[in-house]
C-alpha cells in the first residue's frame, strides 16, 4: 500500500479500540518477570557460557603486545578472543569504530578482548589477567579547543549541513533588536535501564542472536557484513528491550563478541556491556557549542535568524544536527543554519533521545526567552507572533500538514496559570525558595518510513500480528494490537502481537519517533488485505463488508472470523510505503512546555515544582502510552537542564563519570506531577491512521523551559548546560540569590 495521498475515512475512525487509554498488553509479562530479555534466554539457549569484555586502556594508538596466557589458565576460562584469533572482521555500515579493536585503537574502552568462562565471575576475574601493552598516540579530546579546526560537516546526517535564505548578515545588522549568544551542551549518555546484551548460539553454521536492539533489520545486515555471513544464515530476536534511547539503533560489541565467543567455545555465549563500560565503549550524544543570532523589530517579529552548531566526532561520523529545528520553527525572511564538525578521538558520538532538536532547542528556546525580554514582551506572546504555517526556508508553497503550536501555547499557558508569572525575574518568593516560571516550544520532526507486517486470523477467530517492529518500552505491542483489533472488529484481548524477530516482515523499527506512525501503517495495510481475503471467502463484496464483534457482516448476513479462517488460518502480508507527502508538506509534532522551579535562596539548589505540557501530534493512538512517552521525555529534559553530563578527561580522552552513581539522571523525587494534554487532531497527510509519533517530542524544549524558569526565579542567565549549583553561585552576587 502506497500512502501518497491524504488519508480519508477508514475503520480506524470508529475509535472503539484506537484512541482508548488501554493498558499495555505486555505489562503483565514484564511485571511478573516472564518477558524474556536478551541476557536471560535460558529458555532457548540453556547452558550459555559468559563473556566479559576487556576494553582498551588508551584512547588512541595501538596494541603492541597481548599476553592472554594467564587468563586462559584461570579457573573456568574457555576462550580468550582478541583481534589475533577472531578471524576477519569487517566494520558494519552503521559503526564508526571497529567493535573489536586491535592492533589500532580508535577510542578508550573499545573492546579489545572477550574472555569466555563458565561463570560470569570467572570471566570477569580472568579479564583482569589479560595483559595488553600499548603505544599511545596523541589524540584530540576537547571540543572547545578543536572548535577552530572544525570544518563544514558532511551533508546527509538529517539533511544538508548548511542552509541559507535571503540576506541574513544584512538583515541581522539592520535589526532593531538583536540577540547574539553562545550556548553549550555537554556529552551525554543514554543511560537506559537495560544494558546492551546478547545471547548468541550457532547451529550448523547458522547464527541466532537474542539481543536488545531497536532496529532488527539494520542490525542483522551489519552482523552479516561484520562476520562475512549471508543474512539468511542469521536470525536476530529482540522481543523486549529495556530502553534504547538511540543506544541500540546499531550493532554493538556485545552482539559481535557473543557470536565470536559462541563460535569459539561451541556453546551459547552471553555478553552484556557492563554499566561502567557503556559510556566509553558504546555511543553517546556529542557535546555542542551553539551560536544563535536573532534580529527582530521592536514588536518581536523576527526578520533574521541564524543558528550555528559545532560538534565533534571520530573520523567518518557526522555532526549533531542541533541547528535543524531553527530551519522550521519560526518566521524570518533572512535565515541561515550551519553545522561544523571537528575530529575528536573520544568514543563515538551518535543518535540519542531526539538527536538534533533535543539539544538545539536547549539553545534556541533560551534565545527566544532572551529576545522576549529584550522586546519587553511575554515569551508566550513572542512565540505566537513568530508562528509560521509553512516551512519558512521553502516558502508558502510548502505548508505544514498541520501545525497547532499556537493552540498548544495558549492552552498550556491557561492550564499552567502563566498569567501569575512575574515578567521581571527574582520577584516571586515562597519561604526560602525563589520561584520562577519558564516556557519553551516543543518541536520534533515527524518522520515515517516503510514498514511491513503479516496479520492472520486463526480458527478460533484470534487475530495474530507479526512484524519485526520493536517495543523499547514505548507501547508498540499495544498500539499495533489496537490497530489490528480496530481493523478486524475484535477486542484487543483477541489479538496476539509478536514482535522483534527477523523471521517476521521488516518494519520501520524504533527510532527517530517514526515507529508508531510507520509500524501501525504497516499493520493497517496488512489488515486491509486480510479483510479483503476474508470478505471474498464469505462471498461478500469486499468494500461493503463490515468487520465487528468478531464477525464479517454484509446486510443481514454474517460469518464469524474463525469459521472463515478455518483451521489453517488466513494470513495477509503487506507493507506501507510513504510517497512524497513529506516533500509537499512540512510534517512535525508540536507542543508547549511550562515549568515552575524553586531555587533555594542560600544554597542555589534547584527543584522542579510543576511541569505542564500541551502537545499536538495527529491522532493519539493510545493516550495512556502516549502520556507515558511524554512524561518520560520531559523527565529527560530535566536531566539535560540540570544534571546529565559526561565529564571528559581531556588529557587521556575518556568519560570520567561512567556509572549511574556519577552520571546523574532525575529520579522520582526530582520530578513532580506533570500535567499533560494532547490536542484533538487528525493529520491526514501524516499516515493512514492520521497519526504521528510522540516518542521524542516531550524531551524537545523541556530543558529550555527549566532554564527559562531558573532565570525567571533568579535573574541569572546560564547558557552552559547542565545548570548546576556552582554555576549559579558563581553569578550570585547582585542577583536575587543571597
Question: Which region, judged by CB under 6 A, interacts with ligand MOS, from 7-15, 202-210, 346-354, 699-707?
Answer: 346-354
Nearest CA-CA partner of 109 in 51, 58, 62: 58
Q: What angle do CA 530, 533, 534 make, to 5 degrees?
A: 90
CA pair distance 579, 575, nearest whole angstrom? 13
Q: Which is nearer to ligand MOS, 249 or 646 (CB)?
A: 249
The answer to whether 518 touches 505, Cβ cutoff 8 Å, is no
Determine the length of the chain.
738
Question: Which region, judged by CB under 6 A, interacts with ligand MOS, from 88-96, 351-359, 485-493, 613-621?
Answer: 351-359
Interface residue with ligand MOS, options 293, 353, 404, 444 (CB under 6 A)? 353
Q: Which is nearer to ligand MOS, 564 or 699 (CB)?
A: 699
Judged by CB under 6 A, how many residues of this single chain contact ligand MOS? 10
Q: Sign (positive/negative) of CA torsion 371, 374, 380, 382?
A: negative
Question: Which region, judged by CB under 6 A, interacts with ligand MOS, from 54-62, 111-119, 309-317, 352-360?
Answer: 352-360
Interface residue with ligand MOS, options 68, 185, 189, 214 (CB under 6 A)? 214
Question: Which region, judged by CB under 6 A, interacts with ligand MOS, from 241-249, 264-272, 650-658, 725-733?
Answer: 241-249
Question: Which region, judged by CB under 6 A, interacts with ligand MOS, from 57-65, 347-355, 361-369, 442-450?
Answer: 347-355
- Residue 645 is a catalytic residue: no
The answer to whether 514 touches 694, Cβ cutoff 8 Å, is no
Q: Which residues contact 512 (CB under 8 A, 6 or more apart)?
A: 351, 445, 447, 696
What is the closest distance, in whole angstroms, from the C-beta atom of residue 105 to ligand MOS in the complex?
27
- Using CB under 6 A as the binding rule, whether residue 347 contacts ligand MOS is answered as no
What is the closest distance, in whole angstroms, from the C-beta atom of residue 449 to ligand MOS in the complex?
11
Question: Which phi and psi angles does 131 have, rounded to 5°?
Answer: -100, 125
**Other C-beta atoms lying within 10 Å of the C-beta of residue 1:** 15
- Using CB under 6 A as the binding rule, whether residue 515 contacts ligand MOS is answered as no
Lookup: cell for 388:
509560521
What is the closest distance, in whole angstroms, from the C-beta atom of residue 638 to ligand MOS in the complex?
18
Interface residue with ligand MOS, options 195, 319, 355, 701 (CB under 6 A)? 355
Q: What angle do CA 595, 597, 598 make, to 5 degrees?
A: 165
Q: Please state the separation of Cα 513 from the chain's center in Å.
A: 7
Q: Which is nearer to ligand MOS, 505 or 512 (CB)?
A: 512
- Using CB under 6 A as the binding rule, whether residue 639 contacts ligand MOS is answered as no
- Using CB under 6 A as the binding rule, whether residue 351 contacts ligand MOS is answered as yes
Q: Which is nearer to ligand MOS, 401 or 510 (CB)?
A: 510
Nearest CA-CA partner of 159 in 379, 338, 402, 382: 338
- Using CB under 6 A as the binding rule, whether residue 507 contacts ligand MOS is answered as no
CA pair distance 738, 732, nearest whole angstrom? 7
What is the closest distance, in whole angstroms, from the C-beta atom of residue 244 to ligand MOS in the complex?
5
**Which is catalytic among the residues 40, 605, 696, 730?**
696
Residue position matching grid coordinates 508508531: 516
CA pair distance 561, 557, nearest whole angstrom? 13
| Helix (H/G/I), strand (E/B), else coil: 563 | helix
CA pair distance 694, 698, nearest whole angstrom? 7
- Using CB under 6 A as the binding rule, whether residue 246 contacts ligand MOS is answered as yes
CA pair distance 313, 350, nearest whole angstrom? 8
Q: Which is nearer to ligand MOS, 190 or 385 (CB)?
A: 190
The four Cα atoms 659, 595, 373, 363 give a dihedral, to 10 degrees, of: 30
Q: Which is nearer to ligand MOS, 490 or 499 (CB)?
A: 499
CA pair distance 450, 505, nearest whole angstrom? 11
Q: Which residue in the shown chain puts its C-beta closest to ligand MOS?
A: 246
Q: Which is nearer to ligand MOS, 213 or 714 (CB)?
A: 213
Angstrom CA distances, 267 to 117, 123, 224, 610, stand at 11, 15, 20, 53
What is the closest distance, in whole angstroms, from the C-beta atom of residue 191 to ligand MOS in the complex?
13
Nearest CA-CA partner of 707 in 640, 645, 632, 624: 640
The answer to whether 568 touches 561, Cβ cutoff 8 Å, is no
What is the closest distance, in whole angstroms, from the C-beta atom of residue 94 to ligand MOS in the complex?
12
Nearest CA-CA partner of 290 in 380, 179, 375, 203: 179
What is the closest distance, in whole angstroms, from the C-beta atom of residue 285 to ligand MOS in the complex?
8
Question: Which region, judged by CB under 6 A, interacts with ligand MOS, from 53-61, 349-357, 394-402, 441-449?
Answer: 349-357
Residues between 564 and 603 that touch ligand MOS (CB under 6 A): none
- Using CB under 6 A as the binding rule, whether residue 511 contacts ligand MOS is answered as yes
- Using CB under 6 A as the binding rule, whether residue 512 contacts ligand MOS is answered as yes
Nearest CA-CA partner of 216 in 519, 428, 628: 519
Q: Which is nearer to ligand MOS, 353 or 685 (CB)?
A: 353
Q: Which is nearer to ligand MOS, 311 or 386 (CB)?
A: 311
Strand partners, 676: 613
What is the closest distance, in whole angstroms, from the C-beta atom of residue 355 to ligand MOS in the complex?
5
Question: Which region, judged by CB under 6 A, interacts with ligand MOS, from 244-252, 363-371, 460-468, 605-613?
Answer: 244-252
Q: Which is nearer to ligand MOS, 352 or 377 (CB)?
A: 352
Q: Helices (H), strands (E): how many in the chain?
A: 18, 31
- Using CB under 6 A as the binding rule, whether residue 249 contacts ligand MOS is answered as yes
- Using CB under 6 A as the binding rule, whether residue 352 contacts ligand MOS is answered as yes
Positions in the binding site for ligand MOS (CB under 6 A): 214, 244, 246, 249, 351-353, 355, 511-512
Q: Which residues form the catalytic set? A: 696
Amino acid at each position: 500500500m502506497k500512502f501518497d495521498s491524504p488519508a480519508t475515512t477508514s475503520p480506524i475512525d470508529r475509535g472503539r479500540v484506537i484512541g482508548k487509554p488501554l493498558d499495555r498488553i505486555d505489562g503483565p509479562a514484564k511485571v511478573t518477570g516472564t518477558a524474556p530479555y536478551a541476557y536471560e534466554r535460558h529458555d532457548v539457549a540453556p547452558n550459555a557460557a559468559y563473556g566479559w569484555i576487556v576494553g582498551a586502556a588508551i584512547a588512541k594508538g595501538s596494541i603492541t603486545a597481548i599476553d592472554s596466557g594467564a587468563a586462559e589458565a584461570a579457573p573456568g576460562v574457555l576462550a580468550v578472543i582478541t583481534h589475533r584469533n577472531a578471524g576477519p572482521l569487517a566494520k558494519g555500515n552503521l559503526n564508526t569504530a571497529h567493535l573489536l579493536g586491535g592492533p589500532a585503537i580508535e577510542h578508550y574502552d573499545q573492546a579489545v578482548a572477550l574472555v569466555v568462562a563458565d561463570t560470569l565471575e570467572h570471566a570477569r576475574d580472568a579479564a583482569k589477567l589479560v595483559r595488553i601493552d600499548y603505544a599511545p598516540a596523541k589524540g584530540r579530546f576537547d571540543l572547545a579547543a578543536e572548535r577552530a579546526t572544525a570544518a563544514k560537516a558532511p551533508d546527509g546526517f538529517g539533511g544538508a549541513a548548511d542552509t541559507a535564505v535571503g540576506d541574513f548578515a544584512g538583515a541581522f545588522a539592520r535589526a532593531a533588536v538583536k540577540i547574539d549568544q553562545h550556548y553549550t551542551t555537554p556529552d551525554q549518555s543514554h543511560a537506559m535501564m537495560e544494558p546492551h546484551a546478547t545471547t548468541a548460539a550457532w547451529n550448523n553454521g547458522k547464527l541466532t542472536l537474542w539481543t536488545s536492539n531497536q532496529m532488527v533489520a539494520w542490525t542483522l545486515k551489519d552482523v552479516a557484513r561484520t562476520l562475512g555471513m549471508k543474512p539468511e544464515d542469521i536470525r536476530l530476536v529482540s522481543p523486549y528491550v529495556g530502553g534504547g534511547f538511540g543506544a541500540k539503533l546499531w550493532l554493538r560489541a556485545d552482539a559481535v563478541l557473543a557470536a565470536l565467543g559462541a563460535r569459539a567455545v561451541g556453546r551459547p555465549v552471553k555478553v552484556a556491556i557492563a554499566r561502567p563500560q557503556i559510556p566509553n565503549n558504546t555511543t553517546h550524544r556529542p557535546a555542542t557549542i551553539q551560536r544563535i543570532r536573532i534580529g527582530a523589530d521592536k514588536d518581536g517579529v523576527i526578520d533574521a535568524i541564524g543558528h550555528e552548531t559545532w560538534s565533534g566526532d571520530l573520523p567518518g561520523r557526522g555532526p549533531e544536527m542541533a541547528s535543524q529545528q531553527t530551519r522550521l520553527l519560526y518566521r524570518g525572511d533572512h535565515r541561515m543554519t550551519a553545522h561544523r564538525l571537528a575530529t575528536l578521538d573520544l568514543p563515538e558520538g551518535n543518535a540519542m533521545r531526539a538527536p538534533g532538536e533535543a539539544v538545539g532547542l536547549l539553545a534556541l528556546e533560551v534565545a527566544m526567552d532572551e529576545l522576549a525580554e529584550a522586546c519587553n514582551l511575554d515569551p508566550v506572546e513572542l512565540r505566537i507572533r513568530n508562528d509560521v504555517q509553512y516551512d519558512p526556508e521553502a516558502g508558502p508553497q510548502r505548508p505544514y500538514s498541520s501545525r497547532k503550536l499556537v493552540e498548544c501555547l495558549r492552552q498550556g499557558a491557561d492550564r499552567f496559570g502563566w498569567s501569575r508569572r512575574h515578567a521581571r525575574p527574582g520577584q516571586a518568593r515562597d519561604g526560602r525558595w525563589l520561584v520562577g516560571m519558564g516556557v519553551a516550544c516543543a518541536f520534533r520532526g515527524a518522520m515515517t518510513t516503510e514498514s511491513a507486517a503479516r496479520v492472520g486470523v486463526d480458527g478460533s477467530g484470534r487475530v495474530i500480528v507479526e512484524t519485526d517492529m520493536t517495543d523499547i518500552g514505548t507501547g508498540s505491542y499495544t498500539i499495533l494490537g489496537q490497530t489490528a483489533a480496530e481493523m478486524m472488529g475484535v477486542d484487543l484481548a483477541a489479538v496476539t502481537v509478536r514482535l522483534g524477530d527477523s523471521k517476521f516482515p521488516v518494519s520501520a523499527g524504533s527510532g527517530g519517533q517514526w515507529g508508531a506512525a510507520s509500524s501501525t501503517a504497516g499493520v493497517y495495510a496488512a489488515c486491509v488485505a486480510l479483510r479483503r481475503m476474508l470478505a471474498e471467502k464469505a462471498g461478500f463484496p469486499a468494500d461493503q463488508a463490515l468487520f465487528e464483534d468478531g464477525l464479517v457482516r454484509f446486510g443481514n448476513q454474517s460469518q464469524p472470523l474463525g469459521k472463515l479462517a478455518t483451521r489453517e488460518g488466513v494470513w495477509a502480508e503487506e507493507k506501507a510505503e510513504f510517497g512524497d507527502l513529506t516533500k509537499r508538506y512540512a510534517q512535525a509534532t508540536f507542543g508547549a512546555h511550562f515549568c515552575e522551579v524553586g531555587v533555594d535562596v542560600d544554597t542555589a539548589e534547584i527543584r522542579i515544582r510543576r511541569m505542564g505540557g500541551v502537545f499536538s501530534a495527529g491522532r493519539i493512538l493510545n493516550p495512556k502510552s502516549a502520556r507515558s512517552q511524554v512524561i518520560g521525555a520531559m523527565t529527560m529534559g530535566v536531566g539535560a537542564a540540570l544534571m546529565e553530563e559526561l565529564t571528559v578527561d581531556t588529557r587521556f580522552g575518556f568519560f570520567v563519570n561512567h556509572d549511574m552513581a556519577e552520571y546523574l539522571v532525575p529520579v522520582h523525587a526530582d520530578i513532580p506531577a506533570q500535567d499533560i494534554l494532547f490536542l484533538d487532531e487528525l493529520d491526514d497527510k501524516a499516515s493512514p491512521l492520521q497519526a504521528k509519533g510522540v516518542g521524542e517530542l516531550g524531551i524537545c524544549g523541556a530543558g529550555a523551559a527549566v532554564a527559562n524558569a531558573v532565570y525567571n526565579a533568579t535573574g541569572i542567565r546560564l547558557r552552559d548546560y547542565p545548570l548546576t549549583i556552582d554555576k549559579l553561585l558563581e553569578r550570585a552576587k547582585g542577583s536575587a540569590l543571597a
